[in-house]
Structure formats: structure tokens, C-alpha cells
């Protein structure tokens, strides 16, 4: 905000109470009007309301709009190409190169743009494992982005810790600043640019909160594998006996919903590392998709959307009654809630646990042909991890229409993976074999027909299947070998009708079912061609078979 009248805002007198000795001049930011250092939630609420960035809804959540971008602008993300880091980057669709001199020019203009303006700072950490914890700094133009960062990342515990905080990486988010493509070599006026050498990310012309979160995740995906730690786009929880489960999947596949199980402790809902110490959360908050959230199927997340401190992004509310409407998709299907992990009653305070016993790959199959659950061999697990099959759900990424789209997102998070996929796959396989992990594929998509014909698989059935898998109840049942993919599908499961486990029987025409299944398998094979040269032969052989596609049983 450009405060031309020099008005004292609500937190003006407290803006430097938690100031770090490592000032913003170290980032080349000078002549700022006011720097609001590490304000607590209550003070940020006052600043958000004062600056008319959002409104308070019933029971306290802050409601706001992110503007023209209501999802990630994946095509506008760049990584600075320079000598010290370029050999580690898998350049391509999601890791687009930007010249170092172009970054310097944009950053210089951005620094000049901020002169005379207010900014907000949150000094925090990413990584719950003390051996791999990274100090980060989020500098934002908007107060609500500072609250978002405070919700999502790990906060220092003391005043002295704030004072001594020196960031290893900084995110500078200025939504009102625009790039000029012909000069800056950007695709549009929107940009998300990461510079690993200078340890900084800059974001412009988008206010979508997820860009801040995913920029930090992308950083961890670059740094952690260099230290032998597998960085993962997954949720994680732990049973009463200490048995850890990981849930891989893209947005809309159920990572947050399925991991928020009241009978299990929640480690985290989206981003984790797997070191020799075990599993640890990168974050201290949740960023849940909340469109049509059910108070019965997802009670803990639903409760979090009605608490003071939660940021509701693009959620519709009644300005008179202040009631929110989680069923209204007028702005976007990708309505979001950012809230501290502590809002989930069974969250694990340490945000870390031991090595996993189970890995679950979640796919939202809009074709309606994948079985609701399948057990995978380690090589099959690697094949599906590298493939990352799912259907993109409307709203989670710019450009997605009303109907789901088939996608193969490598490592179940291709837009955030920096190294070649085989780097992550190799780390995963070594850990699966070392710790004897059982791997599962769960379909949370459609059954009885494709999208528009069939129906979404019941969340109750998915929960029952998952419970049986994690408890060991599926160890004693009979399995059939899928004729196309070769994985094992249980014949029965407690609490689930047998016909649910046989998706072909739910289609009006079994012949049409098998034809669609063969078509999907062919898509897997065609997608995997680009990895074949770098992939071990046993993993390549673990995919669907051409002969299986031609002659299903």
C-alpha cells in the first residue's frame, strides 16, 4: 500500500516489536514507508480490515479474494539459469529458464516500485526436522499474505529467536507489480521466478496464496535431494501404534481429506521430507480445498473453516449475516482455507514421526475404469510414482475447464519438482526397499462410467478400503491380478460391497468399460516413453502390457 497521507495504521506503533537484526536493506529494499515485522494474527486481522483487503465472517475467519488469479499460474513460473545450479535442474515444461540478467532487471524495478510503500514480513522456518530446518522470510505487499505465511510455516518460539533470524531463502510477493513480457522475457505480466543462487523468489501480478506456499516447496524439492532427503508432495498421518502412512496425490484427489482421520494423528497435509530420521512436515499449516466441504465426511476441516485465524480464499459469504457458503463456486471451484495445523485436533505437535509402513498413491480417475484399490509391488509403485496419473479438477490450475482432464504429473507434483524425476524415484525406491513399505493405489475418482455418466466413488467406501489396508485387514483376503496393469486387486473388503471392487460390473456395457480401460493403459505407455531411456528395465516392465491391452480377461 502506498500511504501518501502518512496515516498511522492499527499496528503502526508495534510494527518493529519483533524486528530481526537482519534488515530488509540486506535484500536491496530501501526507502520503504513502513515495515511490519512478524505481526501476530490479531494485529494482522486489524491491518487486513483497515486496508480493506478482506472481511471477517461469522465465528472469525477472514474472507478475501485473490483477484484475477484464483489458482496457480503454472505456465508463468521460471527458474533462473546460472552456472552454479543449472546442472541440477530438469529444464522443460515446468522449469522454464530465465536469464540471470533478466532476473536482476526485474528485481531492480521491483525494489524501486516498493519505495515509499508498506510491506509485511514474516520470519519463519520450513522443515520440522531440526537437522533439515531452513529459515525463510516472506515479504509481502498485502497483510493477508503475511497471515497466510504465519499460518503455513513454522514460527520462531521467542522474541530473541525473531531478533536473531537470518533467512536462507526469501519470498517477495508484490501482486500490484507487473512484468513487461517483451522486455522481461516473461510470458505475461504475471511471474513466479526462483533464483536458487541468490536464494530468493519473486512473485508479481498474482495474489493467489498458493504461489507463496509452492515457491517454498519448490525450493525444498531442490535442496533436500542434494542432502539425500526425499521431498514429497504428500500428506502423512500415524496410527496409535506408531505406524506411518503417506498419501501422494495432486489437488482434488483427497490427500487432505483422507489424512485428516480422527483415529490417526496428523503429521501434515501436503509437503513432507523423508530422511534417515523418518518423516517430517515442511509446514505448520494446512491449505485445504473447501468447495462443497461436508461437515459429516470432513468434520475437522469443516470446523477449521469456522475459526478465527483461518484465511478463506475466494469463498463466498453473505455480507449481512457473514455466513459463508462453501457450496458456492461463483468465483472459482478452487476455494481454499489456510489454517494452522493445530486447528486439527489430532495433529502431532512435533510434525514428524518414524519411517512409513504404507504408501498410498491417490488418483482421481475421471475415466471411471481404475479399481478403487490395488496393491503394488515396489517396481509397480515406482512406475505409478513416475507416471503420476490423475485427472485435473477444475480450478486448481489456470486453464482447466469444467470437465476433469487426464494428466500425468510426474512424482505426483511435476510443477514443483526441480531435479530429473529419476532423482526422486531412485530415493523413493531405496527407501521402500530399506523399510519394507507396502504400497497401494487408491482411486478416488469415478465408478460406473466416466465423468458425466458414472458417479464419484463414495468417500465412505474409500475410507473403509483405506482403513482395511492400513490395519492389515486386506492381508488375509484373496486378490485377483488385474489383466492390464498387473497389480493385485482385493476380491473382498470389510465394509465395502464386493461389486465396488469390480468396476467393470458397474458399467452398462462391459465391452465399453474394457475399451476405455485399454485406452487409458495406452495413455500410460505413451506418457512413459519419455522416461524409458533413464528408467531401470524392471520398473519399465512393471507398467501395463501391450498384450494385456489387446487381450483383456
Of the residues 69, 77, 255, 429, only one is catalytic, namely: 255
Residue 163 annotated among the catalytic residues of the structure: no
Alpha helices for 9-158 (secondary structure H): 41-50, 100-114, 143-152
**Catalytic annotation on 256?**
yes
Tell me if residue 502 is catalytic.
Answer: no
Given 256, 257, 332, 444, the catalytic residue: 256
**Residues 367, 516 contacting (CB under 8 angstroms):** yes
Check 15, 69, 150, 233 and give the catalytic one: 233
Residue 270 a catalytic site member: yes
- From 205, 270, 284, 482, the catalytic residue: 270
Strands 356-363 and 405-408: unpaired
- Looking at 341-385, which runs of residues are DSSP E strands? 352-353, 356-363, 373-376
The pLDDT value recorded for residue 318 is: 98
3-state SS assignment for residue 480: strand
Q: Are 271 and 248 in contact (CB under 8 A)?
A: no
Rg (CA), the chain: 23
Contact status, residue 269 vs residue 347, Cβ threshold 8 Å: no
The CA-atom distances, in angstroms, between 468 and each of 122, 477, 497, 524 are 42, 10, 13, 28
Helices (H), 141-272: 143-152, 159-163, 181-184, 210-226, 255-259
> Cell for 504?
467393470
Q: What is the pLDDT of residues 328-342, one digit of tens each?
A: 999 999 999 999 999
- 419 included as an active-site residue: no
Return d(Cα 468, Cα 493) in angstroms, integer. Answer: 7
User: In the prediction, which pLDDT does 14 show?
Assistant: 97
Tell me 496's DSSP state.
B
> What residue ranges of the chain have pLDDT lower than 70?
1-5, 393-402, 547-553
Exposed/middle/buried for 313, CB within 10 Å: 0-12, 13-18, 19+?
buried
Of the candidates 479, 258, 524, the one whose C-alpha atom is nearest the C-alpha of residue 365 is 524
User: Is 255 an annotated catalytic residue?
Assistant: yes
Place of cell 480464499: 313
Q: Check 15, 81, 214, 264 and give the catalytic one.
A: 214
CA 467 remoteness from chain centre: 23
- pTM across the whole model: 0.94
Is 57 tagged catalytic? no
What's the sign of the alpha-carbon dihedral 55, 57, 60, 61? negative
Rounded CA separation 304/287 (Å)? 11
The contacts of residue 509 (CB under 8 Å, 6+ apart) are none
How many Å is the maximal CA-CA distance in the chain? 76
Unique residue bearing C-alpha cell 485435473: 392
Given the residues 165, 336, 352, 419, select the one marked as catalytic.
336
Residue 77 bears catalytic tag: no
Question: Cell numbers at residue 490, please?
Answer: 482385493
CA-nearest of 58, 217, 79, 62 to 145 is 62
Model pLDDT, residue 402: 60
Amino acid at each position: 500500500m502506498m500511504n501518501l497521507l502518512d496515516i498511522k495504521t492499527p499496528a503502526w506503533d508495534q510494527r518493529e516489536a519483533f524486528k530481526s537484526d537482519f534488515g530488509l536493506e540486506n535484500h536491496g529494499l530501501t526507502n520503504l514507508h513502513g515495515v511490519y515485522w512478524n505481526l501476530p494474527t490479531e494485529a494482522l486481522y486489524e491491518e487486513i480490515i483497515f486496508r480493506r483487503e478482506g472481511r471477517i465472517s461469522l465465528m472469525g475467519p477472514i474472507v478475501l479474494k485473490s483477484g484475477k488469479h484464483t489458482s496457480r499460474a503454472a505456465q508463468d513460473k521460471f527458474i533462473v539459469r546460472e552456472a552454479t545450479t543449472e546442472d541440477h535442474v530438469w529444464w522443460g515444461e515446468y522449469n522454464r529458464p530465465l536469464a540471470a540478467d533478466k532476473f536482476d532487471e526485474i528485481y531492480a524495478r521491483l525494489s524501486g516500485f516498493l519505495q515509499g510503500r508498506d510491506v509485511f514480513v514474516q520470519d519463519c522456518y520450513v522443515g520440522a526436522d531440526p537437522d533439515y530446518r531452513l529459515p525463510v522470510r516472506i515479504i509481502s505487499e498485502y497483510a493477508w499474505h503475511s497471515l497466510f505465511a504465519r499460518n503455513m510455516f513454522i514460527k520462531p518460539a521467542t522474541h530473541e529467536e525473531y531478533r536473531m533470524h537470518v533467512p536462507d531463502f526469501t519470498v517477495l510477493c508484490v501482486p500490484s507489480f507487473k512484468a513487461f513480457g517483451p522486455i522481461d522475457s516473461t510470458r505475461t505480466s504475471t511471474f513466479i521466478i526462483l533464483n536458487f543462487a541468490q536464494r530468493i523468489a519473486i512473485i508479481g501480478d498474482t495474489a493467489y496464496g498458493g504461489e507463496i506456499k509452492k515457491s517454498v516447496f519448490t525450493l525444498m524439492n531442490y535442496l533436500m535431494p542434494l542432502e539425500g532427503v526425499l521431498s514429497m508432495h504428500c500428506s502423512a498421518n500415524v496410527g496409535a501404534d506408531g505406524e506411518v502412512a503417506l498419501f501422494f496425490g495432486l489437488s482434488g484427489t483427497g490427500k487432505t481429506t483422507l489424512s485428516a482421520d480422527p483415529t490417526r494423528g496428523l503429521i501434515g497435509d501436503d509437503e513432507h521430507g523423508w530422511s534417515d530420521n523418518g518423516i517430517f512436515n515442511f509446514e505448520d499449516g494446512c491449505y485445504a480445498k473447501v468447495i462443497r466441504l461436508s461437515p459429516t465426511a470432513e468434520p475437522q476441516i469443516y470446523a477449521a473453516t469456522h475459526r478465527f485465524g483461518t484465511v478463506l480464499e475466494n469463498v463466498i459469504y453473505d455480507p449481512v449475516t457473514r455466513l459463508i457458503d462453501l457450496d458456492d463456486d461463483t468465483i472459482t471451484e478452487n476455494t481454499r482455507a489456510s489454517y494452522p495445523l493445530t486447528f486439527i485436533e489430532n495433529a502431532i505437535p512435533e510434525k514428524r514421526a518414524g519411517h512409513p509402513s504404507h504408501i498410498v498413491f491417490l488418483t482421481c480417475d475421471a475415466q471411471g475404469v481404475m479399481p478403487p484399490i490395488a496393491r503394488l509391488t515396489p517396481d509397480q509403485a515406482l512406475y505409478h510414482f513416475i507416471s503420476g496419473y490423475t485427472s485435473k479438477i477444475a480450478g486448481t490450475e489456470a486453464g482447466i475447464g469444467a470437465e476433469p482432464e487426464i494428466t500425468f504429473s510426474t512424482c505426483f507434483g511435476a510443477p514443483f519438482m526441480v531435479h530429473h524425476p529419476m532423482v526422486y524415484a531412485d530415493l523413493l525406491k531405496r527407501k521402500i526397499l530399506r523399510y519394507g513399505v507396502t504400497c497401494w493405489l487408491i482411486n478416488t475418482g469415478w465408478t460406473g462410467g466416466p465423468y458425466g455418466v458414472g458417479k464419484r466413488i463414495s468417500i465412505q467406501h474409500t475410507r473403509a478400503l483405506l482403513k482395511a489396508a492400513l490395519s492389515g485387514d486386506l492381508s488375509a483376503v484373496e486378490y485377483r491380478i488385474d489383466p492390464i496393469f498387473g497389480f493385485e486387486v482385493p476380491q473382498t473388503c470389510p465394509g465395502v460391497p464386493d461389486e465396488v471392487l469390480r468396476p467393470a460390473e458397474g458399467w452398462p456395457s462391459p465391452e465399453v468399460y474394457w475399451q476405455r480401460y485399454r485406452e487409458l493403459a495406452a495413455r500410460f505407455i505413451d506418457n512413459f516413453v519419455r522416461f524409458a531411456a533413464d528408467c531401470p528395465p524392471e520398473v519399465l516392465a512393471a507398467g501395463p502390457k501391450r498384450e494385456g491391452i489387446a487381450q483383456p480377461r
